[in-house]
Structure 1
Amino acid sequence: MTFKKSLTATLAGSVLLMGILSACGGNKADNNKSTADQGNTGKGSKGKVTLNVWGMGEEAKSLPKIAEQFEAENPDIKINVQPLPWDTAHDKLLTAVASKKGPDVVQMGTTWIPEFANAGALMDLSSDIANYPELADSNFYDGSLNTTKYDGKTVGVPWYIDTRVLYYRTDLLKEVGYDQAPKTWDELKDAADKLKARGTGKYGISLDVKEQTLMFMFARQNGSKLIDGNKPLFNEPKFVEAVDYLNSFFKDGDAPLDLGIDIVAGFKGDGILPMFISGPWMIKLINDQAPELKGKWATAVLPAKENNISALGGSNLSVFQYTDHKEEAMKFLAYMSKPETQLKWLELANALPSTKKAWEDPALTSDPNLKVIGEQMKSSEPMPLLKPWEQVAQEALNSFEKIYRGQSKTQDEMNSFNKKATDILSK
């Protein structure tokens, strides 16, 4: 998940959800119940430990197939997968924290880690990692690994990743003088200008103004630290310059506003939108929905200014603080981190692996577009791991809208945004 999902839920309504959670989780067994009555908590009549695993979104639908393979290797452990829609998962997790009843293992969107770690919901695994070679820090990309840390503790392990890369029509860029993807900010702007000049109704690039990471990603590429400790730097020159650069695509007509067409529809045909920045899920969408573009499009790492840092998202696996089955939960995390398991997960769920070793497999290295994702992962970082970051990101979207719609000057709006962010981060 990551930055694709919002954390707008509160504890309101948690009492109403208690019954649901008790039915699907509840790893603290009621001492007044018999073993048979305990169902999926504790050990069953055959001596098996049942692990309740909460998975989110579409990925969770494929998780039982991986669980079956784990059970075959660990016959004393049964996996009970509870699929949760992303839009209700946050509420259910808050309720689990309040009730101290819930899963043993839980999928965590990378942007959720600070909130739930701060609430004490996620077990500190720091002292356990050494016992499981599959979980060694060196197995994972640094950016992905950073999303599992909070307040000096390790509260999860990377499961799958996503990042942002440049998608472009190779044929159309070649027509305007680019035999390869733009490599710098200057080249990206020049290519967008030339592609827009093809005629009325044509644009150079699509920039998703609802993407929370966009402004911060470009600011990092311009050398901004974003935040110094707890102090936001959103009105300082490097950040302001990046916002001006982004806004120049809208100001000059290179990028559309309110066009109202799907990105794949704009990408194919005459290429109304011949370039865009997005995540790895778009590879399959283009292949499925625009097969006629085969050989006419590609992906590339993001163009650079001082660097080409991209935004990193995905999901981690964490152990719920109140589990009775820590050892079994750690075995499951270790199994899910094996390169061969992650490659099977790629096959089942089209989710990209977090382990470096898996990226050496021909399934990934033979696909040039997936290979680009692996290259970009070497220069990808998560958004700041701060509990109130979601609120800051929402304010960023509001501020940028005022700029690209011409309602505010960049420096003035960034001064206002920085003050709001300061208030949020100081609470």
Structure 2
Amino acid sequence: MTARALIIGAPRSGSGKTSVTIGLLRAFQRRGIKVRGIKTGPDYIDPGFHEAATRLPGLNLDSWAMAPDLLRHLARGQAEDADLILIESAMGLFDGILGEPGRSGAASDLARLFGLPVLLVLDVSGQSQTAAAVACGFMHYDPTVKMAACVLNRAGSERHRKLSGDAISAIGLPVVGTILRDPTLTLPERHLGLVQASEHPQMDAHIDRLADAMEQSLDLDAIFEAARPFDIASGTTEKALPPPGQRIALAEDAAFTFLYPHIKREWHAMGAEIVHFSPLADEAPPADCDVCWLPGGYPELHAGRLAAADTFKTGLKTFSETKPVHGECGGYMVLGERLEDADGVSHTMTGLLSHSTSFSKRKMNLGYRQARLMRESAIGKIGDVVRGHEFHYARVIEAGTDQPLAMIADGRGDEIGPSGGFRGRVTGTFFHAIARD
């Protein structure tokens, strides 16, 4: 492989990593460089922005959820036929959970595993020379994670840029550019983070503005040179989620969007055929498929249309009488009896499971999860342990009478309790599966 790679990290969320990454991806793509993005951690939204910027599929790599051999396999696949890989860190560069070495979920794990340097994005608003102390901490905190260069973000003026930049350069960290404060470069957000790339009506124009800013503000040649050869040993798919059937009916529209790119990609690579259908268009899962998968998304924003989608609901019920149906998070909500939207209006869902959920009575659930399956389902067999995460504000307001699908623990292994439900061939849970333990 000839690809070079660089990790884009920062001290915290909100430093501007995503805007910088997306702008750089498009800027390098404009130069004729075949560039691809990778997002660390359990984030199914940012890979869509990476794909929008490069017109090439994005990817997630999560060192907690994915065993090192699976990380190598997926990274190697992303790097094939690429010139440059930009790996965007989630949260702060070293932010993860306590656990076995190299499996914290932090982007720094990938820096060590692949021997990659870091382009540090520092939001210097509200400070000047103090930014050098922050940069110095990053340079010396972990000698196995090398800082290659620094980008100053949200500087207020030329004087601000000089004070911060000169102080950082003096400690030996190259500054490859400064982005002045510009609120128009901020990406829109909603309750689960950024609005998805496919929902932004002028996304391509916005990405072009980000690329313009990176071209005007940053030394792209120096950033490319800071990247290092992405030499990856061959991995394996032993810990990947196997396809749940030969022909998989996958719900895909504005209500069902949260499926990690690697899952669909690996299903296809293992020989499965994926057949898309749209519940919002009142389409039922094709009868010639072996299994139906309802991923997460924003069903609470489309609850009225889903409630009125009689062909979808009737067809899904008929499908479930002979074949497995599985729902994750938003899909789990739609499998229940009722869904209460943000205004407290109750909408009738498919009723294939007996619980009801509410988005008006919100409670944030966020974190890594280990699920031990109590029932064979699309994500594994009885007794299997699957790693993944939860990220939702909806809550169960009526538990129903179904048996739980899994017993779940948090990322450290501390038990949380039963999760999800099953009835007949129908299973569902708020838990998003990423890989086998």
TM-score between the two structures when normalised by the length of structure 1: 0.24
Per residue, is there more helix in 1 or in 2? 1
Per residue, is there more strand in 1 or in 2? 2
TM-score between the two structures when normalised by the length of structure 2: 0.23
**Greater RCO structure (CA 8 Å; 6+ sep):** 1
